[in-house]
Amino acid sequence: MHGKTPFVRLTKRENMPKGKVWMIRFGSFIFALLIGMVIFAVIGAKPLSAYGSIIQGALGRRTGIRQVVRDAIPLLGTALALAPCFKMRYWNIGGEGQITMGAVAATFFAVHFKNMPAVALLLIMAVAGIVLGSVWALIPAIFKSRWGTNETLFTLMMNYIAIGIAAWLVGGPWEGKPGSQIMPVFTSNAILPKVMGVNCGWIVVLVLTVLVFVYMRYTKHGYEVHVLGESENTARYAGMNVPKIIKRTAALSGAICGLVGFMVVSGSDGTLYSDVAGGAGFTAITVCWLAQLNPFAMIVIALMLSVLSKGASTLQSAMGIPASITDILTGIILLSMLGCEFFINYKMHFRKSAEKEAA
Amino acid sequence: MGALDFIVALIRAAVFNGTPLMYGTSGEILTEKAGNLNLGVEGLMFMGGAFGLLGAFTYGNAMGDSANGVVAVIIALVCAFAAGCFGSLIYAFLTITLRANQNVTGLALTIMGTGVGQFVGEMMRLKVGGNVAISNALKLAFANSPFPQALQNIPVVGPLIFGYNVFVYLGIIMIIVMHHFLAKTRKGLYLRAVGESPSTADSAGINVTRYRYFATVIGGGISAIGGMVYTMTISGTVWNHTGLSGEGWVAVALVIFCLWKPINSLWGSVLFGALLILYIRLPIAFIPTQIYKVVPYIVTALVLIMVSIRQRREDQPPAALGTAFFREDR
């Protein structure tokens, strides 16, 4: 009979000590770096000096650090936006589109209300970004809550539609030099002021981090999201208005994405590009997930990915290694950290002991 | 140019531009039928494109003038397929064995895969010191129709039926085989059962893990071939990552449009191929190009809505799509 018992049996576990959990995660990060070293060795570069030059390129100089922080802003902001949705098990992968629409709305006011005082204009731009971002996120949520339309795929489609709209505006009505397909830079009253060398968006996202943490942990809304994520039936039996919660949470998520869009156009880019989101909507999904939906952990992970991408761009000039190595390294780190969760959540029982008993 | 010529040219262009989608989509359909939503198609197609080109290029360089076109095509196919299998094997291991979240794993695979594809493409360019080009004789093997010239010269019918590159015909055969497998064979039925209700399938003695691995790995390989077809035909055997980018996401969209039926991807990919190039072939004055370009996505979103409102059972996504199976969970 014991031949039929599986080689390895799994049980869920929930009580692994915090220290051990983070040891496993750190271990998987090191594991990913080791695979990265193999890749460097295969293409004939010295692995250690390659990593050295990534760190050096990203953190060695003040401008590098500033760029790292600047690039981490949209990643962190979007990851925060997605957290409540993911908690609810609503797969909003439309961050890219919601950022873009937020950016479009903000740009509209930057273009058409050039003569307003800076504070008023920036506020209006931010509000416009928030509103359009949340509308963009609300559309799939309405269909999800009414007819159960698959939100993963719907929000994905909304990304492309948003990017198409932005591309049309940039190359059409808002085009700068005819035929250039790019917009002129905003007037200075539509640019976010800098604090310590980086646009003040970093303060906004840090405040947001705390707000999202409080929202998810200590408010009624956060509780409802939590229950709904665990079981839709439980939420319904408890008398919660499920469609309303879905729509509200999605709209909130889109609102923060829209705000991020505003910060990108007004803070780092100073104008609207059609790829304003630049993949942040997608990368943020992994940031959010790797942080286990913990807002404070997101800060660390967003910074880490940002260091990696900034550092790898210097790798190209320093060692002649294409900058796309970033994506490979990022991907490997993500995949390996996703995989390690298994060893945290499950306990393996091997057959060996059972065989001994039978013998 | 007469109206007939225009229509013939339009259909030919639609088929030409739809062929990569045919592979990308049907591979993803196979994967999703077993319950795995692999959002890594974009990355897989990048990997397929880069490794397919690398394979053909290396072979052409090694053999010089004695290189054989048919062999080059086979090598490109095998390299792309292997790259796709490898990428989706990582995805399968993480989502099936380690039960990682499918959405996030798929996106991570896309990030890694586009990186790998682009890295290989750029490394090739650095090694050669310029654009990677393969000999004209080999290029023609990828571009030309496998049918004799006499058949291609028949008016209208010739160009419309016999005038495409070899990947169109291979794709059609592959899709028909897949349709037959899923709809008519016992193993295909098991695979669909795994995608609809893994716990029921498990109780019936079907090895859920094995079927999911099979569908995901083979499906990923097929999707990756689509990337190779793009690089070797549409972009003319030159690595072109801007052209290839987005192709995988259109393929994911097309899966929905095809209602998870491989046979629909035969005409679906041609239709989307047409939508992708219609803004060049048939410009409409009052619709800006960029808006015209998003028509495929709007159409897909509408299909998604229609499907969910009508709730016809045979049009629904596989019921267990996107969820891991944990036997001890019940």
Which residues are paired to A198 by β-bridges? A195
Q: Give the rounded percent of residues in chain B with a pLDDT score beyond 70.
A: 97
A169 → chain B, closest CA residue = B290
**Which residue in A68, A307, A81 sits closest to A209, CA to CA?**
A81
ipTM of the complex: 0.84
- pLDDT by residue (tens digit) across A282-306? 889 888 888 888 899 899 989 988 8
Q: Give the rounded percent of residues in chain B with a pLDDT score beyond 90.
A: 39
Does residue A237 lie within any of the structural domains?
yes
Residues of B in contact with A285 (CB under 8 A): 103-104, 107
pLDDT of residue B32: 94
The span from the CA of A84 to the CA of A213, in Å, is 10
Closest CB to A338: pick one of B94, B97, B308. B94
What is the total count of domains within chain A? 1
pLDDT, greater one: B146 or B168: B168
Q: Which of A100, A153, A289 to mutate to test the interface with B (most CBs of B within 10 A)?
A: A153
Q: Label residue B152 by pLDDT band (50, 70, 90).
A: confident
CATH number of the domain that residue B16 is part of:
1.10.3470
pLDDT, greater one: A210 or A323: A210
Does residue A213 lie within any of the structural domains?
yes
Does residue A290 lie within any of the structural domains?
yes
- Mean pLDDT across the stretch A139-155? 88
- pLDDT by residue (tens digit) across B48-104? 999 999 998 888 888 777 778 888 899 999 999 999 999 999 999 999 988 888 888
**B102-140 core/surface letters (b: 16 or more CB in 10 A; e: else):** bbbbbbbbbbbbbbbbbbbbbbbeeeeeeebebbeebbe
The span from the CA of B42 to the CA of B118, in Å, is 12
Question: Is residue B288 within 8 Å of residue A168, measured between CB atoms?
Answer: yes
Interface touch B111/A289, C-beta < 8 Å: no
Does residue A201 lie within any of the structural domains?
yes
Q: Which domain holds residue B103?
A: 3-329
Three state DSSP letters for chain B: CCHHHHHHHHHHHHHHHHHHHHHHHHHHHHHHHCCCCCCCHHHHHHHHHHHHHHHHHHHHHHHHHHCCHHHHHHHHHHHHHHHHHHHHHHHHHHHHHCCCCHHHHHHHHHHHHHHHHHHHHHHHHHHHCCCCCCCHHHHHHHHCCCCCHHHHCCCCHHHHHHCCCHHHHHHHHHHHHHHHHHHHCHHHHHHHHHHHCHHHHHHCCCCHHHHHHHHHHHHHHHHHHHHHHHHHHHCCCCCCHHHHCCHHHHHHHHHHHCCCCCCHHHHHHHHHHHHHHHHHHCCCCCCCHHHHHCHHHHHHHHHHHHHHHHCCHHHCCCCCCCCCCCHHHC
- pLDDT by residue (tens digit) across B114-126? 999 999 988 888 7
> What does pLDDT average to over chain B?
87
- pLDDT by residue (tens digit) across B289-305? 778 888 888 888 888 88
pLDDT of residue B132: 66
pLDDT of residue B189: 93
Indicate if the pLDDT at residue B284 is higher than 80: no
Interface touch B304/A149, C-beta < 8 Å: yes
Residues of B in contact with A346 (CB under 8 A): 99
Interface touch B290/A320, C-beta < 8 Å: no
Residue B48 identity (one-letter amino acid): G
**Which residue in B124, B136, B142, B134 sits closest to B61, CA to CA?**
B134
Does residue A309 lie within any of the structural domains?
no
pLDDT of residue A1: 43
pLDDT of residue A4: 62
What is the total count of domains within chain B? 1
> Which residues have a Cβ under 8 Å from the Cβ of B327 and sit 6 or more positions away?
B199, B202, B208
Closest CB to A43: pick one of B109, B123, B297. B123
CA A93 to chain CA centroid, nearest Å: 10
Indicate if the pLDDT at residue A277 is higher than 60: yes
For the CA atoms of A73, A74, A79, A80, what is the dihedral angle to 10 degrees?
Answer: 60
B297 → chain A, closest CA residue = A157
Does residue A357 lie within any of the structural domains?
no
The span from the CA of A210 to the CA of A221, in Å, is 16
Does residue A20 lie within any of the structural domains?
no
pLDDT of residue A355: 52
Q: Supply B13's token pair.
A: 């262009």
Does residue A118 lie within any of the structural domains?
yes
pLDDT of residue A90: 87
pLDDT, greater one: A3 or B187: B187
The span from the CA of B265 to the CA of B272, in Å, is 10
A327 → chain B, closest CA residue = B115
Closest CB to A322: pick one of B90, B100, B123. B123
Burial of B65: CB neighbours in 10 Å, binned 0-12, 13-18, 19+: exposed
Q: Label residue A359 by pLDDT band (50, 70, 90).
A: very low
The span from the CA of A312 to the CA of A299, in Å, is 20
Name residue, tokens 């060795």.
A41
The model's pTM: 0.86
Angle made by CA atoms A243, A221, A135, in degrees to the nearest 5? 55
Interface touch A152/B322, C-beta < 8 Å: yes
Residues of B in contact with A339 (CB under 8 A): 93-94, 98, 100
Residue A349 backbone phi and psi in degrees, to 5: -115, 120
- Mean pLDDT across the stretch B251-255? 88
- Characterize the bridge pairing of strands A346-350 and A8-12: antiparallel
Q: Label residue A352 by pLDDT band (50, 70, 90).
A: low
- Mean pLDDT across the stretch A75-101? 91
> What does pLDDT average to over chain A?
85
B289 → chain A, closest CA residue = A168
Residue A269 backbone phi and psi in degrees, to 5: -90, -35
The span from the CA of A271 to the CA of A350, in Å, is 58
The span from the CA of A61 to the CA of A267, in Å, is 21
pLDDT of residue A65: 85
